[in-house]
């Protein structure tokens, strides 16, 4: 599976790229598009007040890293807590406490969205491998009654893993009874929900 499907949730990284996702939306790489998808789906689950609070701090006009292909910045600098506290007529302590609370909420939402999207991508795969941790299922045998015998073979080499087709009943057994995970061989379809980027507004 492409590494970006299991990308870590790093709020500072998302915030720095927030405006860049919008202004560079036509030039985003696959990894950037996937990250934008997770981020914007998460933002849509915040309350309006929380979303505006974060936007005023992170969705700025302070370019930091230029995209050499377009000349448009990929990342933007945030405003400091001190500046935002003054602008919001709050003490720095009050502002920071509110920011941390909202950001923790968003982080939890993003983890949930990431897992939902990972499951969606996995279920769309026409072909996939099965793995337990870092080990792939290489081979197995069936009893005369069609049950999977416990002497199945695992391997660290993904190229030796058995390939299953979508809706394979045996694969379902390995997933449900042994807790194995699917790893798509090729991801063909993503629900990128570009409207949440193209039509971005508060």
Do both 25 and 115 map to the same domain? Answer: yes
Q: Is residue 172 part of a domain?
A: yes
Do both 28 and 112 map to the same domain? Answer: yes
Q: Which residues of the chain have pLDDT under 70?
A: 1-6, 67, 186-202
**What is the pLDDT at residue 31?**
85
CA-to-CA dists, residue 97 to 57, 94, 151, angstroms: 14, 5, 54
Q: How does pLDDT run across 158-169, given as a tens digit for each residue? A: 889 999 888 888
Q: Is the pTM of this model over 0.85?
A: no
Among 105, 123, 141, residue at a domain's last position: 123
Rounded to 10 degrees, the C-alpha dihedral 49/51/55/56 comes to 10
Do both 162 and 80 map to the same domain? Answer: no
Domain tally, the chain? 2
**What is the pLDDT at residue 193?**
52
**What is the pLDDT at residue 196?**
53
Domain that holds residue 174: 126-184
Q: Is residue 170 part of a domain?
A: yes
**What is the pLDDT at residue 3?**
54
Do both 19 and 112 map to the same domain? Answer: yes
Q: Is residue 58 part of a domain?
A: yes
Q: Is residue 78 part of a domain?
A: yes
Do both 60 and 100 map to the same domain? Answer: yes
**What is the pLDDT at residue 178?**
79
- For tokens 């063909």, name the residue: 188
């Amino acid at each position: 599976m492409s590494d970006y499907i299991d990308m870590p949730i790093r709020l500072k990284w998302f915030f720095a790229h927030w405006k860049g996702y919008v202004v560079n939306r036509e030039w985003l790489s696959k990894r950037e598009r996937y990250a934008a998808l997770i981020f914007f789906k998460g933002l849509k689950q915040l309350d309006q007040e929380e979303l505006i609070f974060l936007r005023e701090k992170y969705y700025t006009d302070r370019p930091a890293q230029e995209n050499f292909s377009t000349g448009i910045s990929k990342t933007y600098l945030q405003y400091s807590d001190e500046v935002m506290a003054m602008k919001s007529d709050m003490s720095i302590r009050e502002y920071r406490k509110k920011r941390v609370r909202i950001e923790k909420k968003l982080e939890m939402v993003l983890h949930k969205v990431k897992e939902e999207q990972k499951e969606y991508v996995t279920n769309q795969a026409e072909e996939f491998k099965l793995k337990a941790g870092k080990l792939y299922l290489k081979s197995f045998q069936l009893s005369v009654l069609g049950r999977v015998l416990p002497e199945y073979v695992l391997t660290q080499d993904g190229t030796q893993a058995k390939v299953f087709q979508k809706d394979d009943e045996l694969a379902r057994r390995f997933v449900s009874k042994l807790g194995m995970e699917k790893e798509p061989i090729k991801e063909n379809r993503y629900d990128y929900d570009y409207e949440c980027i193209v039509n971005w507004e508060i």
